[in-house]
Amino acid sequence: MSDETKYFLPEDRLPRQWYNLAADFPVPMPPHRHPATFQPLTADDLSAIFPRTLCEQELTTERWIDIPEPVREIYRLWRPSPLVRARRLEKALDTPAKIYFKNESVSPAGSHKPTTAVAQAFYNKAEGTRRLTTETGAGQWGCSLAFAGEVFGLEVEVYMVKVSYEQKPYRRALMETYGATCIPSPSTLTESGRQILARNPDTSGSLGIAISEAVEMAVQRDDTHYALGSVLNHVCIHQSLIGLEAMAQMEMAGDEPDIVIGCAGGGSNLAGIAAPYVREKINGRNVRIIGVEPASCPTLSKGRYAYDFGDTAQLTPLLMMKTLGATFIPPGSHSGGLRYHGMAPMVSHMHDLGYLEVQAYPQTACFEAAVQFARAEGILPAPESSHAIRAAINEALRCKEEGTEKTILFNLSGHGHLDMSAYMDFFSGKMSDPEFDTAQLAQALSDLPEVGV
Amino acid sequence: MSDETKYFLPEDRLPRQWYNLAADFPVPMPPHRHPATFQPLTADDLSAIFPRTLCEQELTTERWIDIPEPVREIYRLWRPSPLVRARRLEKALDTPAKIYFKNESVSPAGSHKPTTAVAQAFYNKAEGTRRLTTETGAGQWGCSLAFAGEVFGLEVEVYMVKVSYEQKPYRRALMETYGATCIPSPSTLTESGRQILARNPDTSGSLGIAISEAVEMAVQRDDTHYALGSVLNHVCIHQSLIGLEAMAQMEMAGDEPDIVIGCAGGGSNLAGIAAPYVREKINGRNVRIIGVEPASCPTLSKGRYAYDFGDTAQLTPLLMMKTLGATFIPPGSHSGGLRYHGMAPMVSHMHDLGYLEVQAYPQTACFEAAVQFARAEGILPAPESSHAIRAAINEALRCKEEGTEKTILFNLSGHGHLDMSAYMDFFSGKMSDPEFDTAQLAQALSDLPEVGV
């Protein structure tokens, strides 16, 4: 047993390959399907919006995928990210549990997102793309792609969910610092945006709508591709670095997690930290994997496992996933990054096969956990990440109750420095827990496409 | 030569002692003096506002001072901080120079300040203090002391310079997250505050005024002490960790700096990174040390080396330092942490003896450097730190011009995540370069106390 607080992997141990969990599921993942024909999707179908290599990564079941050297070069600005033993939090909770967290907040944009952004920008540049469009919720992804675009010399246009655009002007400013353009969504620039605004001029927007806008703008222009920050397989594959590094670092610490926790919006940070542990679980090791979602957008807890569109305007391929329905618009919350109707097919499949437990918490309970964590460990968590912290604290308290000494690993997916207005609301008592609208859910589920496979 | 990007020192190489440059100056530092008698100050004189151990550290010329184990324990949350080779910035500048920076932005509060805050809170707690008062400019110091107070179970009251209080609500929210109370200064709670407000109700405040308020509130209450985030010797001593770690890390990198750069407001981060290098310079090694200050508050460039008060209401001891005069109120700028009329006696002495070069830059030139740095290295710098970056870039460009391959080390004293409004002003063209008021300087210098020693 080591008594360090922080575990750093040397740069030459930064993995040279991403891990693809799709290779190891005992039942294959259901294929993505073409939105018009319902046929299994081909790389050609995707090539209108993504560069060839990413289309192939999206569909492959190869277990290991080489990371290009220029991508590793950029990763080294912040990766391998630290693994931290939360000793002061353990003491504050007076728990026999050991708590570790992977600190993804050290990246340029302050979250796990640059890990896929850099890879996506690289492949786009290599294949001649001049401009990338994307959507962003809380702004973490927009900042990440802005940075990655700057690194490889690509223009970046970000459609930002309107409620976040208004709540988080600093996140917008960070995108501009990295040289990107930021547009509130829905906008009048796109057909999808104009349609939504005609129906509902006061909409606060949603990730689903913003995706439609970004995809539309990419399809319309030959020199432009689209980039997605979560959900898709290639994104989850890139994020496997989180889990691969964590596994090596847990070994440095002389420890092994009994419980692995990640918050779940689109699903990529959860897929990232969990992937190598799910592989071990498939091979028989006893480890609990917990996905944590907001009670106001409980995709895994209350969604249906079905083929659905990734966006509102039905421009994306059909993905087999846990979904609240692509027409479902989650209530506004301070965790913009978790306000998504669907869940990564890789995470959904994990859940369907019984490898993943799910917990859902209201946001005030998560902010309580975030403040307790900040006071113990110093780091101010992103509202999204506070969901993972809530679950980790609850599990640690259960260990105390039961007198068991479990080892808990969670992913601190990002810092909350640009989310201080949420903390201000929390302290002033202005924060409430948005209701989950079951009538809207019923409606959205009845809107699901009838794929019939 | 190593080809790493980041250099981490293992936790067991976190220094066990702070270094005190006062031990090594060939000419002793002039003593602090009592504000009424002008006699050299004793530890007793200081004990009304500081715990005994800090009073002794303030006056000692011992070279090495043991770091208490509970302080090292907290330091390990983020220290040793990384040393980073800015390879992408070097490439962007196309310079033969090598650029390294010490990344102090990884601390809980996002700057170098917690390194002294934790030590000060520890000694106060150990000696029975129940409450700490302090001032803060940009808010970095207030957040740091708030965190340190929380760690050791002390109440913390922060007087925040009014212009920053209004410009930086997020910094205030962070102090509250760590459990501190934040009051805009000047306030009506103190005699010093009321006097200033009577004379100038619309004042934007200054660090000098806020110090007066905090000191007054500490003197009035038996269970309360005051804590200062810069200027004083004990603060500079604690910050020597920056330089000690950097020196060990430069050795890991197989390199040695020809130029060492820090921004200079109160002077502690500059003293911290420079101290062990000044020691080498005293012992004959050829190394340039550069302090960088804002053109709008050019204490080292245009101040007088004289005894002066640290605050506006003349409550502090008299310090021999470079000063613009304690009555000088610097114009508002986005680098609140550099808006101070005086300069740490340790840094002033360094300068007086010829060990320190000085450069001064207008803030827009510094933000240009900050954006260039952010786009290359990913990290968004604090406006204060951008002054050091400006100088580092200029020196690297000079190397290019002259074809010389120097090694440059600068201190990235903090991140700018809570200063995004400054970046928004910069991008919108709303940022101007405040004029330095020479008439006010003449007046303030004529107000200097006549100590006659």
Using one digit for the tens of pLDDT, what is the confidence trace for B264-311? 999 999 999 999 999 999 999 999 999 999 999 999 999 999 999 998
- pLDDT of A291 reads 98
Strands (E), A51-176: 64-66, 83-85, 98-103, 131-136, 155-161
Nearest-Cα residue of chain A relative to residue B176: A427
Distance of alpha carbon B380 from alpha carbon B426, whole angstroms: 14
* Residues A346/A28, Cβ–Cβ less than 8 Å: no
- Residue B259 forms beta bridges with which residues? B288, B408
B453 at A interface, C-beta within 8 A: no
Chain A residues with CB under 8 Å of B180 CB are none
Interface test with B, best of A6, A100, A165 (most B CBs within 10 A): A6
Nearest-Cα residue of chain A relative to residue B108: A378
* Residues A175/A139, Cβ–Cβ less than 8 Å: yes
Listed residue (B114, B107, B171) closest to B144, CA to CA: B114
Distance of alpha carbon B134 from alpha carbon B132, whole angstroms: 7
**A323 SS3 class:** strand
* Residues A44/A220, Cβ–Cβ less than 8 Å: no
Q: Write the CB contacts of A214 (distance below 8 Å, at least 6 apart in sequence).
A: A133, A134, A135, A157, A158, A159, A226
Residue B206's Cβ-count burial label (10 Å; 0-12, 13-18, 19+) is buried
Distance of alpha carbon B324 from alpha carbon B319, whole angstroms: 13
Interface test with B, best of A9, A177, A377, A418 (most B CBs within 10 A): A177
Contact B107 A378 (CB under 8 A): yes
Residue type at B285?
Answer: R
Q: What digits encode the pLDDT tens for the residues A297-330?
A: 999 999 999 999 998 888 889 999 999 999 998 8
Of B375, B379, B427, the CB nearest to A150: B375
B285 at A interface, C-beta within 8 A: no
A48 at B interface, C-beta within 8 A: no
- pLDDT of A453 reads 65
Of A11, A177, A375, the CB nearest to B178: A375
- The phi-psi region of residue A139 (left if phi > 0; otherwise alpha if psi is between -120 and 50; otherwise beta) is left
B21 at A interface, C-beta within 8 A: no
In eight-state DSSP terms, residue A30 is P
A170 at B interface, C-beta within 8 A: yes
- pLDDT of B1 reads 60
Which domains, ranges and CATH numbers included, belong to chain A?
6-10+81-110+240-446 (3.40.50.1100), 17-66+112-226 (3.40.50.1100)
Contact A5 B77 (CB under 8 A): yes
Other CB atoms closer than 10 Å to residue A197's CB: what's the count? 16
A417 at B interface, C-beta within 8 A: yes
Of B5, B10, B150, the CB nearest to A77: B5
* Residues A54/A276, Cβ–Cβ less than 8 Å: no
A420 at B interface, C-beta within 8 A: yes
* A186 cis-preceded (ω within 30 degrees of 0): yes
Distance of alpha carbon A417 from alpha carbon A380, whole angstroms: 7
Contact A374 B178 (CB under 8 A): yes
A179 at B interface, C-beta within 8 A: yes
Tens digits of pLDDT across chain A (453 residues): 578 999 999 999 999 999 999 999 999 999 999 999 999 999 999 998 999 999 999 999 999 999 999 999 999 999 999 999 999 999 999 999 999 999 999 999 999 999 999 999 999 999 999 999 999 987 899 999 999 999 999 999 999 999 889 878 888 999 999 999 999 999 999 999 999 999 999 998 988 899 999 999 999 999 999 999 999 999 999 999 999 999 999 999 999 999 999 999 999 999 999 999 999 999 999 999 999 999 999 999 999 999 999 988 888 899 999 999 999 988 888 888 898 999 999 999 999 999 999 999 999 999 999 999 999 999 999 999 999 999 999 999 999 999 999 999 999 999 999 989 899 999 999 999 988 999 999 999 999 999 876
B378 at A interface, C-beta within 8 A: yes
B107 at A interface, C-beta within 8 A: yes
Distance of alpha carbon A206 from alpha carbon A192, whole angstroms: 12
- Say what the ipTM of the complex is: 0.96
Q: What digits encode the pLDDT tens for the residues B186-228?
A: 999 999 999 999 999 999 898 889 999 999 999 999 999 999 9
Strands (E), A112-266: 131-136, 155-161, 181-185, 224-226, 259-263
B379 at A interface, C-beta within 8 A: yes
Distance of alpha carbon A112 from alpha carbon A104, whole angstroms: 5
Chain B residues with CB under 8 Å of A417 CB are 110, 170, 415, 417-418
Length of chain A: 453
Distance of alpha carbon A426 from alpha carbon B432, whole angstroms: 35
> How far apart are the CA of A190 and the nearest CA of chain B, in angstroms?
26
In eight-state DSSP terms, residue A164 is H
Contact B420 A106 (CB under 8 A): no
Distance of alpha carbon A75 from alpha carbon A78, whole angstroms: 6
Compute the average pLDDT of residues B412-436: 93
Chain A residues with CB under 8 Å of B424 CB are 169-170, 173
Distance of alpha carbon B305 from alpha carbon B445, whole angstroms: 10
B2 at A interface, C-beta within 8 A: no
* Residues A260/A409, Cβ–Cβ less than 8 Å: yes
Distance of alpha carbon A252 from alpha carbon A226, whole angstroms: 39
Chain B residues with CB under 8 Å of A107 CB are 378
> How far apart are the CA of A21 and the nearest CA of chain B, in angstroms?
30
Secondary structure in 3-state letters for chain B = CCCCCEECCCHHHCCCEEECHHHCCCCCCCCCECCCCCCECCHHHHCCCCCHHHHHHHHCCCCEEECCHHHHHHHCCCCCCCEEECHHHHHHHCCCCEEEEEEHHHCCCCECCHHHHHHHHHHHHHCCCCEEEEEECCCHHHHHHHHHHHHHCCEEEEEEEHHHHHHCHHHHHHHHHCCCEEEEECCCCCHHHHHHHHHCCCCCCCHHHHHHHHHHHHHHCCCEEECCCCCCHHHHHHHHHHHHHHHHHHHHCCCCCCEEEEECCCCHHHHHHHHHHHHHHHCCCCCEEEEEEECCCCHHHHCEEEEEECCCCCCCCEEEEEECCCCCCCCCCCCHHHCCCECCHHHHHHHHCCCCEEEEECHHHHHHHHHHHHHHHCCCECHHHHHHHHHHHHHHHHHHHHCCCCEEEEEECEECHHHHHHHHHHHCCCCCCCCCCHHHHHHHHHCCCCCCC
Distance of alpha carbon A348 from alpha carbon A344, whole angstroms: 6
Handedness of CA B351, B353, B355, B359 (dihedral sign): positive
* Alpha helices, H only, A85-152: 87-93, 114-126, 140-152
Contact B5 A177 (CB under 8 A): no
Nearest-Cα residue of chain B relative to residue A87: B77
Chain A residues with CB under 8 Å of B371 CB are 177
Q: Which residue do the tokens 């957008």 mark?
A: A297
- Residue A103 forms beta bridges with which residues? A412
Q: What does DSSP say about strands B6-7 and B83-85: parallel, antiparallel, or unpaired?
A: antiparallel
* Residues B216/B205, Cβ–Cβ less than 8 Å: no
Other CB atoms closer than 10 Å to residue A417's CB: what's the count? 24
- pLDDT of B253 reads 97
Other CB atoms closer than 10 Å to residue A221's CB: what's the count? 11
Contact A177 B380 (CB under 8 A): yes
Contact A427 B110 (CB under 8 A): no
Distance of alpha carbon B82 from alpha carbon B246, whole angstroms: 8
Contact B379 A8 (CB under 8 A): no
Chain B residues with CB under 8 Å of A178 CB are 374-375
